[in-house]
Amino acid sequence: AQSVTQLDSQVPVFEEAPVELRCNYSSSVSVYLFWYVQYPNQGLQLLLKYLSGSTLVKGINGFEAEFNKSQTSFHLRKPSVHISDTAEYFCAVSDSAPDSYDKVIFGPGTSLSVIP
Protein backbone atom coordinates (compact mmCIF):
# COMPACT_ATOMS: atom_id res chain seq x y z
CA ALA A 1 0.00 0.00 0.00
CA GLN A 2 1.12 3.50 -0.72
CA SER A 3 1.71 6.10 1.93
CA VAL A 4 2.99 9.65 2.12
CA THR A 5 4.95 11.26 4.94
CA GLN A 6 5.36 14.97 5.40
CA LEU A 7 7.85 15.30 8.19
CA ASP A 8 7.11 18.91 9.08
CA SER A 9 3.62 19.76 10.18
CA GLN A 10 4.43 23.47 10.46
CA VAL A 11 7.12 25.52 8.75
CA PRO A 12 7.57 29.18 9.65
CA VAL A 13 9.83 31.15 7.33
CA PHE A 14 10.63 34.82 6.85
CA GLU A 15 9.50 36.61 3.74
CA GLU A 16 11.98 36.38 0.83
CA ALA A 17 13.80 33.46 2.47
CA PRO A 18 14.02 30.07 0.73
CA VAL A 19 11.86 27.17 1.85
CA GLU A 20 11.84 23.42 1.44
CA LEU A 21 8.85 21.28 2.34
CA ARG A 22 9.73 17.65 2.68
CA CYS A 23 7.80 14.72 1.32
CA ASN A 24 8.63 11.02 1.37
CA TYR A 25 6.51 8.23 0.00
CA SER A 26 6.42 4.48 0.09
CA SER A 27 5.11 2.35 -2.74
CA SER A 28 5.72 -1.04 -4.25
CA VAL A 29 5.00 0.21 -7.77
CA SER A 30 5.86 3.16 -9.96
CA VAL A 31 4.14 6.33 -8.93
CA TYR A 32 2.96 9.71 -9.96
CA LEU A 33 3.68 12.48 -7.47
CA PHE A 34 1.85 15.72 -6.80
CA TRP A 35 1.99 18.83 -4.68
CA TYR A 36 -1.21 20.70 -3.95
CA VAL A 37 -1.76 23.97 -2.09
CA GLN A 38 -4.83 24.80 -0.04
CA TYR A 39 -5.58 28.37 0.96
CA PRO A 40 -7.90 28.94 3.94
CA ASN A 41 -11.47 27.79 3.34
CA GLN A 42 -10.74 26.82 -0.24
CA GLY A 43 -10.25 23.66 -2.23
CA LEU A 44 -6.93 22.26 -3.37
CA GLN A 45 -5.00 23.65 -6.29
CA LEU A 46 -2.33 21.71 -8.13
CA LEU A 47 1.14 23.25 -7.84
CA LEU A 48 3.03 20.68 -9.87
CA LYS A 49 3.22 17.00 -10.68
CA TYR A 50 5.75 14.40 -11.69
CA LEU A 51 4.66 11.76 -14.18
CA SER A 52 7.89 10.78 -15.92
CA GLY A 53 10.97 12.25 -17.56
CA SER A 54 13.00 15.00 -15.92
CA THR A 55 13.18 14.59 -12.18
CA LEU A 56 13.09 18.36 -11.64
CA VAL A 57 9.58 19.63 -12.03
CA LYS A 58 8.64 23.29 -12.17
CA GLY A 59 5.22 24.45 -11.10
CA ILE A 60 3.19 27.55 -10.62
CA ASN A 61 4.03 30.47 -8.33
CA GLY A 62 7.77 29.82 -8.55
CA PHE A 63 7.68 26.41 -6.87
CA GLU A 64 9.69 23.40 -8.01
CA ALA A 65 10.16 19.85 -6.77
CA GLU A 66 12.68 17.13 -7.39
CA PHE A 67 11.85 13.47 -7.64
CA ASN A 68 14.48 11.26 -6.03
CA LYS A 69 13.65 7.63 -6.62
CA SER A 70 16.47 6.21 -4.49
CA GLN A 71 15.40 8.26 -1.51
CA THR A 72 11.69 8.01 -2.35
CA SER A 73 11.37 11.73 -1.89
CA PHE A 74 9.64 14.59 -3.66
CA HIS A 75 10.62 17.74 -1.78
CA LEU A 76 9.05 21.07 -2.68
CA ARG A 77 11.21 24.19 -2.88
CA LYS A 78 10.91 27.88 -3.50
CA PRO A 79 13.94 30.21 -3.51
CA SER A 80 12.10 33.23 -2.12
CA VAL A 81 8.70 33.09 -0.45
CA HIS A 82 6.02 35.74 -0.32
CA ILE A 83 3.36 36.46 2.26
CA SER A 84 0.81 35.10 -0.19
CA ASP A 85 2.46 31.67 -0.01
CA THR A 86 1.06 31.17 3.49
CA ALA A 87 -1.13 28.09 3.09
CA GLU A 88 -1.37 24.35 3.66
CA TYR A 89 0.68 22.19 1.30
CA PHE A 90 -0.13 18.58 0.55
CA CYS A 91 2.09 16.01 -1.10
CA ALA A 92 0.27 13.18 -2.82
CA VAL A 93 1.02 9.94 -4.65
CA SER A 94 -0.91 7.74 -7.03
CA ASP A 95 -0.19 4.47 -8.75
CA SER A 96 1.23 4.74 -12.25
CA ALA A 97 1.03 1.07 -13.14
CA PRO A 98 -0.77 0.20 -16.39
CA ASP A 99 -4.50 -0.27 -16.08
CA SER A 100 -4.47 1.44 -12.72
CA TYR A 101 -6.70 4.31 -11.78
CA ASP A 102 -5.92 7.43 -9.83
CA LYS A 103 -6.50 6.62 -6.22
CA VAL A 104 -4.56 9.54 -4.83
CA ILE A 105 -3.09 9.19 -1.36
CA PHE A 106 -2.45 12.48 0.43
CA GLY A 107 0.05 13.29 3.10
CA PRO A 108 -1.06 14.98 6.33
CA GLY A 109 -0.02 18.40 5.08
CA THR A 110 2.52 21.06 5.99
CA SER A 111 1.36 24.45 7.16
CA LEU A 112 3.64 27.12 5.71
CA SER A 113 3.58 30.45 7.53
CA VAL A 114 5.47 33.32 5.94
CA ILE A 115 6.55 35.93 8.45
CA PRO A 116 6.81 39.55 7.29
- Identity of residue 24: N
Q: What residues are paired with 58 via a beta bridge?
A: 64
Interaction with other proteins in 68-107: which residues (CB under 8 A)?
90, 94, 96, 100-107
Of the candidate residues 10, 29, 43, 53, the single one contacting other proteins (CB under 8 A) = 43
- Measured from the CB atom, is 41 or 116 closer to other proteins? 41
Burial call 46-79: b when 16+ CB within 10 Å, e when fewer = ebbbbeeeeeebebeeebbbebeeeebbbbbebe
**Of the candidates 68, 84, 65, which has an alpha carbon nearest to the alpha carbon of residue 76?**
65
The span of 35-43, 57-65, 66-74, 75-83 binding other proteins (CB under 8 A) equals 35-43
State the CB neighbour count (10 A cutoff) for residue 13.
18
- Measured from the CB atom, is 12 or 108 closer to other proteins? 108
Q: Number of residues in contact with other proteins, rule: CB under 8 A?
A: 22
- Measured from the CB atom, is 26 or 100 closer to other proteins? 100
Q: Please report, as ranges, the residues that interact with other proteins according to CB under 8 A.
A: 32, 36, 42-46, 49, 51, 90, 94, 96, 100-109
